[in-house]
Amino acid sequence: MTGHKSLSVDLGDRSYDILIGTTVLAAAGKLMQPLLKSDRVIIVTDENVAALHLARLERALDDAGLHYQSIAVAPGDTSKSLDQLGRLIDQLLAAKVERSTTILALGGGVIGDLAGFAAAVTLRGLDFIQIPTSLLAQVDSSVGGKTGINSRHGKNLIGAFYQPRLVLADTSILTTLPRREMLAGYAEVVKYGLIQDAAFFTWLESHGADLIEGDRPALERAVLTSCRCKAEVVAADEREGGRRALLNLGHTFGHALEAETGYGGELLHGEAVAVGMVMAFDLSVQRGHCPPEDADRLRRHLAAVGLPTGFADLPQRHWDAERLLDHMGRDKKVNQGRINFVLARGIGEAYIESDVKTEEVMALLTSAISQSDQLANENSAADMTSRATLGS
C-alpha cells in the first residue's frame, strides 16, 4: 500500500496520472504494471542518477517481475543534443525494442526531455513513463508532454508534444539533489505563483527556504500545487495555442541567456528562468501595467533564497543586448516576426502580450546590462582600494 497523492492530466484517451509521495519509487513496478503493453521496459537515466537511485528502481521492477535494461547518458543539458539523441535511439534499436516496450525516464528534465523525444520517434512511438528525480522535473518537466532537444539555434527547438503514460514523483529522491539544482527547480515553483496563484506566492515567501532545505510537507505541498496548476493548464491547451504559453513566463529572456552561455552548466535552466521572470516583471512595470512593488517583491524573494535576479548575478561576460534579442527572435512564441511575451499585471496575474516593441526590450536589456557593468566596476575599484590599503 502506498500513501501517495494522485492527480490526473485530463487529455481524453491520452490522460494520465501523476502520483506524488515518498514510497512511489519503491512501488514503481507495481504502480506501472497495469499500464504496460508487455513486461519489458528500458530505463533511460543519467550517470549521476544511475549511481544514486537506479538500484532502487531495479528492485521495484524485480518486485513486479518486469524485465529491464538500462541506458545511462552523461548528465547535463549538453545531452539534449542531436548526437546524443542519435546514440540513444541507436541503443534502443540495438536492444531490439518492440512497440510493446515502455521507456522509463529516470532523471531530471534533461532525461525526461531526451528520453521522451526518443520514445516519440522510435518505431514511431513507444510508451514512456516519467520518474522525475530533480525538483524541476517533479514540478514541471515531467508533466505536459513537451519533449525535445536543443539546437545550435536555441533551446528546445527540435521536439514533439508527446505525453507520458504515468508520472511517478517520489519526493524522497530529492534528498540527494545538490542545493544549486534544488534552487534551480524552485524558480519554476515560484513561476506558478506568479502566473495565477498569488496566495501560493505568499506561502512560498514564508516556506520557500524550508522547502529548499528539504522540509517534507513543504516540498510535497509545492510539488502538488505546481503539478495541479500545470495539469490544469495543459489539459486546457495541450499544444500551446494560447494559455499554455503562460508556463513560459521568464523563458523568452531565460532561453536567450542559456543560449548565450552554452548548455554546459555555467547557467542552469532554472537560474536563467529566475532572471527571466524578473525581466518579464520589469518589462511589465516599464510598460506601466504592473505595480513596481510587485517586481521588487519578486526580486527580494528570489534573492532571499539565493537565486540570481539580474546580470550582476550571472556568469561574468560581455553581455550584449543585440545578441540576446537575436536569440529571443528564435523563441517558439514568435508569430509573423513578433515575439509574444508573457507579462504580468502583478503577482498571480500573468498574461500574453503580442504588442511589445523591439525598442522597449532593447531599452530594458541595455539598462540592465549597464547597471550590472557599473556595479562590477565599482566592486573592482573597491577591491583595488582595499588591496592597496592592505599592502600599505
Ligand X SMILES: NC(=O)c1ccc[n+]([C@@H]2O[C@H](COP(=O)([O-])OP(=O)(O)OC[C@H]3O[C@@H](n4cnc5c(N)ncnc54)[C@H](O)[C@@H]3O)[C@@H](O)[C@H]2O)c1
Q: Is 287 one of the annotated active-site residues of the chain? A: no
CA dist 122 to 15, 30, 44, 156, 342, Å? 21, 25, 14, 19, 34
**Distance in angstroms (rounded) separating the CA atoms of residues 29 and 33:** 6
Of residues 53, 80, 165, 244, which one binds ligand LNCXM5UN by CB under 6 A? 244
Of residues 134, 225, 248, 284, which one binds ligand LNCXM5UN by CB under 6 A? 248
Q: Which of residues 113-152 bind ligand X (CB under 6 A)?
A: 113, 133-134, 136-137, 140-141, 144, 146
Within 13 Å of residue 60, how many CA atoms lie on the same side as its CB? 23
Query: Catalytic: which of 80, 230, 301, 332?
Result: 230
CA dist 233 to 116, 120, 229, 244, Å? 20, 22, 6, 6
C-alpha cell at 104: 522509463
Measure the CA dihedral 24/26/28/34, to 10°.
-100
**Distance in angstroms (rounded) separating the CA atoms of residues 227 and 210:** 19
Q: Residue 89 annotated as binding?
A: no
By a kind-dependent CB cut-off of 5 to 8 A, residue 251 interacts, out of ligand LNCXM5UN, ligand X, none, with ligand LNCXM5UN
- In the complex, the smallest distance separating the C-beta of residue 174 from ligand X, rounded to whole angstroms, is 6
By a kind-dependent CB cut-off of 5 to 8 A, residue 181 interacts, out of ligand X, ligand LNCXM5UN, none, with ligand X
Q: Which of residues 66-105 bind ligand X (CB under 6 A)?
A: 75-77, 80
Residue 327 found at the interface with ligand X (CB under 6 A): no
List, as one string, the DSSP characters of 176-233: GS-HHHHHHHHHHHHHHHHHH-HHHHHHHHHHHHHHHTT-HHHHHHHHHHHHHHHHHH
Burial class (CB in 10 A: 0-12, 13-18, 19+), 335: exposed
Cβ contacts of 319-326, under 8 Å, gap ≥ 24: 319/260, 319/369, 319/372, 320/369, 321/362, 321/365, 321/366, 321/369, 322/362, 323/260, 324/253, 324/256, 324/257, 324/260, 324/365, 325/256, 325/358, 325/361, 325/362, 325/365
By a kind-dependent CB cut-off of 5 to 8 A, residue 118 interacts, out of ligand LNCXM5UN, ligand X, none, with none
Q: How far is Cα of residue 157 from the mean position of the Cα atoms in its chain?
A: 15
Residue 348 found at the interface with ligand X (CB under 6 A): no
Q: Contact region for ligand LNCXM5UN (CB under 6 A) — 19-27, 88-96, 194-202, 244-252?
A: 244-252
Contact 105, 128 (CB under 8 A): yes
Radius of gyration of the chain, Cα coordinates, nearest whole angstrom: 21
Q: Residue 333 annotated as binding?
A: no
| Residue whose grid cell is 542531436 | 82
By a kind-dependent CB cut-off of 5 to 8 A, residue 248 interacts, out of ligand X, ligand LNCXM5UN, none, with ligand LNCXM5UN
Residue 18 found at the interface with ligand X (CB under 6 A): no
By a kind-dependent CB cut-off of 5 to 8 A, residue 332 interacts, out of ligand X, ligand LNCXM5UN, none, with ligand LNCXM5UN
- In the complex, the smallest distance separating the C-beta of residue 166 from ligand X, rounded to whole angstroms, is 16
Of residues 107, 116, 144, 310, which one binds ligand LNCXM5UN by CB under 6 A? 144
By a kind-dependent CB cut-off of 5 to 8 A, residue 108 interacts, out of ligand X, ligand LNCXM5UN, none, with ligand X
Q: Is 251 one of the annotated active-site residues of the chain? A: yes
CA dist 140 to 17, 156, 324, Å? 14, 15, 25
- In the complex, the smallest distance separating the C-beta of residue 175 from ligand X, rounded to whole angstroms, is 8
Q: Which of residues 212-271 bind ligand X (CB under 6 A)?
A: 269-270
Q: Is 188 one of the annotated active-site residues of the chain? A: yes
Site string for ligand LNCXM5UN, 103-142 (x = CB under 6 A): -------------------------------------x--
φ and ψ of 133, to 5 deg? -115, -10
Chain residues in the site for ligand LNCXM5UN (CB under 6 A): 140, 144, 146, 155-156, 188, 244, 247-248, 251, 332
Chain residues in the site for ligand X (CB under 6 A): 46, 48-49, 52, 75-77, 80, 107-111, 113, 133-134, 136-137, 140-141, 144, 146, 156, 173-174, 176-177, 181, 184-185, 269-270
* Catalytic residue positions, numbered: 124, 146, 188, 230, 240, 244, 248, 251, 255, 269
